[in-house]
Amino acid sequence: MPELPEVETVTRDLRGELVGRRFISAWVNEPGVLRFPGADAFIGALPGRSVTTVERRGKYIVCRLDGDEELVIHLGMTGHLRVMGGGVEVVKHTHLRAGLDDGRELRFDDARRFGRVMLGSRSVLEERRVLPALGVEPLSDDFAPEILDRLMRRTTRTVKAALLDQSGIAGLGNIYVDEACHLAGIRPTRRANRLTRRERLALHAAIRSVLAKAVANRGTTVDDYRDLWDARGSHQEELQVYGRGGEPCLRCGAVLRRRVVAGRTTVYCASCQR
């Protein structure tokens, strides 16, 4: 599933293509992709609205429209957004198309159909509980070491489970939690409240470092992720532990261990991560 760096990459790409543009039409092939509202209401509400900003919130892409409504997109596991000419052949599994005033279309395709699209004001989306409560953005100034301190000290969950909780830190997922724990030298199976102050500081720095580098590399393409132009990210070439269970640690040479933590396959180095 695309995580913060992948969603940030697509968000930045979209910002340059959509800001200032006006939607003139909407077409829905798979109503199930719409979390809110229904297809008829969506098709009636989107045309005529202009995009003022495109932002990321956690793993969600938020297109703010004139007025107080937002077009919110979650890519799910296999969702792709594309902006292309209206005459370009429509690829398989395209569930939504929105015409723009320059003749192009915003298209959303998703083979596994786990992605979701929402349209409404932030208050309505939150009231309907289709947009969950999200925690602090880890690349923002708000993510101070004291924030991570508080999150870690107040839970007996594993470090991995605590970091995956989107209500605490928004945008982290399986890839970057494993990578940040390795960089910080912390085993993801540790109980969060047992970390020392020094370890929490190291983890805070590692989270920011890993995410920033992945954003600079335009995300990680392991399976399906592609950017707005259907190009792969390159950060998979930098991964230290994710997806490498049974292989040697690139830092010390020990065999990387693989186990399930917080319901997710987790890889770590028993030598480097004490």
3-state SS string over the chain? CCCHHHHHHHHHHHHHHHCCCEEEEEEECCHHHEEECCHHHHHHHCCCCEEEEEEEECCEEEEEECCCEEEEEECCCCEEEEEEECCCCCCCCEEEEEEECCCEEEEEEECCCCCEEEEEEHHHHHHCCCCCCCCECCCCCCCCHHHHHHHHHCCCCEHHHHHHCCCCECCCCHHHHHHHHHHHCCCCCCEHHHCCHHHHHHHHHHHHHHHHHHHHCCCCCCCCCCCCCCCCCCHHHHCCCCCCCCCECCCCCCECEEEEECCEEEEECCCCCC
Active-site position among 35, 56, 59, 64: 59
Q: Is 59 a catalytic residue?
A: yes
How far apart CA 118 and CA 38 sit, in angstroms, is: 9
Q: Is 17 a catalytic residue?
A: no
How far apart CA 236 and CA 27 sit, in angstroms, is: 35
Q: Is 160 a catalytic residue?
A: no
Active-site position among 21, 157, 251, 264: 264
Integer angstrom CA distances of residue 108 from 146, 182, 228: 39, 35, 10
Active-site position among 3, 8, 17, 70: 3
Which H/E stretch holds residue 146? helix 145-153
Output the six-digit token pair for 90.
């429509």
- 143 with 206: CB under 8 angstroms? no
Q: Is 264 a catalytic residue?
A: yes
**Active-site residue numbers?**
2-3, 59, 264
